[in-house]
Structure 1
Amino acid sequence: MTEPLIRAENLHKTFASAGTRKTRVPVLRGISLDVHPGEMVSVVGPSGSGKSTLLYCLSGLESSDSGSVRLAGHELGTLGRGALAAVRRKHVGFMFQSYNLIPSLTARENIALPARLARRPTSRTAIDRALADVGLVDRGGHRPGQLSGGEQQRVAIARVLAMQPDIVFADEPTGALDTAAGSEVLRLLRASAGAGRSVVVVTHDLEAAALADRVLVLRDGLLHQELRRATPEQVLEAITLAGAVA
């Protein structure tokens, strides 16, 4: 089997309790997992189970209290802030539920922004190809306020695809979309997994979770169950069980 793009071992993460800094609340309690090239993995579980925190730790946006994350051959815990940012720019694309588009920039300019910030050359052809991949080739000159929610999320996907990252992380990418727009976003995410690129998505959407090669079910900061090629009904049953046991 190929070397995993992500290997997490015994991850622990706590946050300060509301109202006091002395009390720490455990959010991740010893999670270990691998994500292999070309694989789509979804992370599901009851609210408060640690899904988004896990995603942020795997992507290097949050540091864990203990344990290790190895991403594309780099031990994240050993890197300084500048080196960690360089690894993220080179290997990671991140999709947020809130899109994180710059209102004053056009869709085309938003897609080009990560390359500009990383001081990497990018071409109009590459940007237009990314727009075409998400079905927005005629909307490149529009600003976010002129686009629907589904179109904004597709611009966010195009921005990630134009970066050509090894790993795409997506945090509730369909949470603010209607059914039709959400289905299109999911199709694009599923299609982007492969040819060595991996996708890790946190979702409450059963259909989204079932598109993945593997489904990781979290409960109370622990990896409760792993499903392979699951149906939406099997995902729902696993989440319901995790919620009942938690």
Structure 2
Amino acid sequence: MNTPLVSAQNLQKSFSAGRRQPSIPVLRGISLEVHAGEMVSVVGPSGSGKSTLLYCLSGLEPYDAGSVELLGRELSGLSRGGLAELRRDHVGFVFQSYNLIPSLSARENVALPARLARRRTAKRDVDGALAAVGLTDRARHRPSALSGGQQQRVAIARVLAMYPDIVFADEPTGSLDTATGASVLGLLRDAASGPRSVVLVTHDLEAAARADRVLVLRDGLIHAELQSPAPEQVFDAVSLAGAVA
């Protein structure tokens, strides 16, 4: 098998509970790999470490022990500038909060990451990304004139236009209606192809089942790993782990 795009070994992370209080462990020794062309979902109850895992894998959050390699580069060995450059050039993020710039149009928001990276952006890439999310007719609209679902699709178009090697998505459908959420999941599913991969954190077990693999977390550990499961299998695995989705 090819070298993984993401590799974590014995990943550990704790958060301070305040002065004179012991730290609270969130990740207790997680090891995993994500390969090109894969979509991997992470499920588990609130507090199981899902989002923290995502942030540590993507370089948004430092970890306490273990290792994370992103595209073959150990994150703890990178300077702040080197880490920012790695994320800028190779990583895409989709969050439940859309992180759009209110003063920019949908098209300008999609083109912004390339502008910040001082990379020439072909108009066809921006327009193609907006077309892929069904927002060609909303290209000139600012976020305030878009629904929540439309804003989330702009956020995904922004990622698609950059062609990142890996996309990290944290509860991207949490505030969307069923139809819009299914559309967003379809776009993420399509993005995990060829040389690209997607890591998705979600409470939605049906959404999780769209992935090639599902990791079930509880108390900062992986309790189960499922290959191309049906939603019922994901639910059963979460239940057996003692988690409440």
Match of 1:5 in 2: 5
Match of 1:115 in 2: 114
Q: Tell me if the contact between 1:169 and 1:201 (Cα under 8 Å) persists in the aligned partners.
A: yes
Match of 1:183 in 2: 182
Task: Tell me how far apart the structure 2 counterparts of residues 46 and 22 of structure 1 sit (CA, whole Å).
Answer: 24
Task: Tell me how far apart the structure 2 counterparts of residues 54 and 21 of structure 1 sit (CA, whole Å).
Answer: 26
Deviation at 1:119, TM superposition (A): 0.9
Deviation at 1:160, TM superposition (A): 0.3
SS at match of 2:42: strand
Match of 1:124 in 2: 123
Q: 1:55 to 1:21 in 2, by over 3 A?
A: farther
- Runs of 4+ in structure 1 displaced over 3 angstroms? 19-22
TM alignment of 1:45-124, pairs within 5 A = 45-124=44-123
Q: Tell me if the contact between 1:167 and 1:197 (Cα under 8 Å) persists in the aligned partners.
A: yes
Deviation at 1:123, TM superposition (A): 2.0
Deviation at 1:125, TM superposition (A): 1.6
RMSD: 1.2
Deviation at 1:138, TM superposition (A): 1.1
Letter in 1 for 2:111: A
TM-score (norm 2): 0.97
Match of 1:136 in 2: 135
Deviation at 1:124, TM superposition (A): 1.6
Q: Number of residue pairs matched?
A: 244
Match of 1:192 in 2: 191
SS at match of 2:141: coil
Q: 1:146 to 1:225 in 2, by over 3 A?
A: same
Task: Tell me how far apart the structure 2 counterparts of residues 52 and 141 of structure 1 sit (CA, whole Å).
Answer: 33
Q: Deviations over 1:98-156 (max 9, x none)?
A: 11111111000100111111111112221101111111111110011111111111100
Task: Tell me how far apart the structure 2 counterparts of residues 117 and 168 of structure 1 sit (CA, whole Å).
Answer: 18
Task: Tell me how far apart the structure 2 counterparts of residues 241 and 149 of structure 1 sit (CA, whole Å).
Answer: 35
SS at match of 2:88: helix
TM-score (norm 1): 0.97
Match of 2:152 in 1: 153
Match of 1:223 in 2: 222
Deviation at 1:244, TM superposition (A): 5.4
Structure 2 residues without counterparts, runs of 5 or longer:
none
Q: Tell me if the contact between 1:38 and 1:193 (Cα under 8 Å) persists in the aligned partners.
A: yes
Letter in 1 for 2:19: T
Letter in 2 for 1:134: V
Task: Tell me how far apart the structure 1 counterparts of residues 19 and 136 of structure 2 sit (CA, whole Å).
Answer: 51
Task: Tell me how far apart the structure 2 counterparts of residues 175 and 244 of structure 1 sit (CA, whole Å).
Answer: 19
% identical equivalent positions = 72
SS at match of 2:241: helix
TM alignment of 1:154-169, pairs within 5 A = 154-169=153-168
Task: Tell me how far apart the structure 2 counterparts of residues 131 and 150 of structure 1 sit (CA, whole Å).
Answer: 13
SS at match of 1:223: strand
Task: Tell me how far apart the structure 2 counterparts of residues 240 and 195 of structure 1 sit (CA, whole Å).
Answer: 33
Task: Tell me how far apart the structure 2 counterparts of residues 86 and 244 of structure 1 sit (CA, whole Å).
Answer: 37
Task: Tell me how far apart the structure 2 counterparts of residues 132 and 197 of structure 1 sit (CA, whole Å).
Answer: 20
